[in-house]
Amino acid sequence: MTKLLLIVTFCVSFGTAFSQIHEGQLLMGGSSYFSSKKQTNGVHTSRQTDVVFAPNAGYFFMDQLAGGIRVNIGFSKLIYQLPEDGYYRVNAQALAPFLRYYLLSPKQKLNLFVDASYFYGRSQVKSYSGNPLDPAGSSKHTEKGYGLSAGPALFLTPGIALELMASYRHSKYKGFDDANTSWMTGLGFQIHLGDTKP
């Protein structure tokens, strides 16, 4: 951990004082998100854990504004306590067009960004009951929703950035009235490709 902090400090102190977030440049990288929440309604208790991996590719249409496509690969587990304990596992894949805007000048090594995406895909839900006589069930669903993220991007070099973000995710399964919402924390790594501009 100490070595990582020294490397980051060195890059920030001696790196070039601008980032590649200009029109015509490319954005390649990805993010990973995590959330865990516990819910109790007075009788039943449940705990849900979500993990999402999201590689992306984008293009800067203008300075500081990029758009592109992201692939969301998600894994969830919901543990519930009823007369018979059990849990659900969800595997999900979705395509997510996105827009991203960097709020500060390209000359800043530490920038701030906001990111909005809409996703559409499929999920497979498997249920497991605590009753050994009740076999696991499986179903497939169409899922759609949107995600909003924001956070700092630290440019270690003009073309490489590390990101820390908070993310809100809202989704619904086709045929179900209830929506699934979650707050997630995430880490990202982005490579900015293209001719360097002052």
pLDDT tens per residue across span 14-60? 444 468 899 999 999 999 999 988 877 666 777 889 999 999 999 99
More confident residue, 108 or 115: 115
Quick one: pLDDT band at residue 126, thresholds 50, 70, 90? confident
Mean pLDDT to the nearest integer, 93-106: 96
pLDDT (0 to 100) of residue 198: 56
Residues 63-71 have a mean pLDDT of: 97
Encoding tokens for residue 132?
A: 């050994």
For the residues 105-114, what does the mean pLDDT come to?
Answer: 94
pTM score, whole prediction: 0.80
Question: Rounded to an integer, what is the distance from CA 197 to the centroid of its chain?
Answer: 29
Distances (CA, A) of 196 to 16, 22, 26, 107, 159: 11, 9, 12, 12, 9
| pLDDT top residue among 150 and 79 | 150
